[in-house]
Amino acid sequence: MNGYGTKEVLFFLIALIFNSNFTKSRFQFFTDGHKTLNEAILKRFNWSNNMGIILDWFHLVKKCKEQLSMAMKGRVVRNELLEQLLPLLWHGLTDRAIALLEEMDTAQIRNQSIMEKLVEYLHRNKPYIPCYALRKQLGLRNSSNIGEKMNDLIVSDRQKHNGMSWSKRGSVALASVTALKRNREAKNWFENQKIEFKLAANSD
């Protein structure tokens, strides 16, 4: 699915859900923890009593590594802290992870404001940090890697190369055509201006 921003795509998604009679299904969203994205999902899906948001594990790890690289004095100190921090987050122990960061020796911190931003990020996303270890044992997903791969195929592979520059309209238009092709809807759209607005697994 593709559109001009989060709001439009969420409306498309809701339309697909109702059109496919999936309103009683579980809706599980995986995000990067961006406040605006989480708020948009919660607002548009406030009609469902069976939905949730999970902070994507790989985004969480990336965030911690990047922020601590800027906050700590050197790679050795950063890596030692990560060895303590990531297992706590993997097991959903967010309060203990926050306490670990807040109790760090200030002599080892290069940029206190970045450390504070990481702490605020964990506080804000605490409701969306589960016990990833348990989910893995249960065979449940911890990552949005399928969505990331689709983004690579629909957008990045064609539009993100050296020297390329796209207007918003052009980028969305090209991504829409690429999505049509990957959904095997190009012939139907160009000949009839219609698409099968349903999941392939739910098609007749």
The first and second tokens of residue 7, run together, are 């709001």
Q: For the chain, give every domain's residue range.
A: 1-53, 57-137, 144-204
Instruction: Indicate whether 198 pLDDT > 80.
Output: no
Residue 67, pLDDT score? 97
Instruction: Indicate whether 63 pLDDT > 50.
Output: yes
Residue 19, pLDDT score? 87
Instruction: Indicate whether 203 pLDDT > 50.
Output: no
* Residue tagged 């994205």 (tokens): 37
Write a three-state SS string for 13-68: HHHHHHHCCCCCCCEEEEECCCHHHHHHHHHHCCCCCCEEEEECHHHHHHHHHHHH
Structure confidence by residue, pLDDT tens digits, 115-135: 999 999 999 999 999 999 999
72: three-class secondary structure by DSSP: strand
pTM (predicted TM-score): 0.78
Residue 156, pLDDT score? 67
Residue 177, pLDDT score? 80
Structure confidence by residue, pLDDT tens digits, 77-121: 999 999 999 999 999 999 999 999 999 999 999 999 999 999 999
Structure confidence by residue, pLDDT tens digits, 25-57: 999 999 999 999 999 999 999 999 999 999 999
Averaged pLDDT, 129-142: 96
User: CA-CA distance, 133 to 138, in Å (whole number)?
Assistant: 9
